[in-house]
Amino acid sequence: MDMSENKKLAIVTGGGTGLGQASVVRLLADGYRVISLGLDVEQEIDHPDHEERSFDVTDSKAIAALAQEFDGVDALVNAAGTIIHEKAEFTNAGFAKVMDVNLRGTQEICFALEAALKARRGAIVNFASMWSYFGSARNPAYSASKGAVDSFTRALAAAWSADGVRTNAVAPGWVKTRMSINAMNTPERAEPILKRIPMARWGEPSEVANAVAFLVSDQASYINGVTLPIDGGFMVA
Sign of CA pseudo-dihedral 61, 67, 68, 69: positive
The reply to whether 133 belongs to the active site is: no
Say which residues have a Cβ less than 8 Å from residue 119's Cβ, sequence separation at least 6: 71, 72, 73
Run of H or E including 219 = none
User: In whole angstroms, what is the distance from residue 170 CA to residue 215 CA?
Assistant: 9
- Cβ density class 88-117: b for 16+ within 10 Å, e for less: ebeeeebbebbbbbbbbbbbbbbebbbebb
CA 115 vs CA 142, 161, 194, 227: distances in Å:
29, 13, 43, 23
| Residues identified as active-site | 142
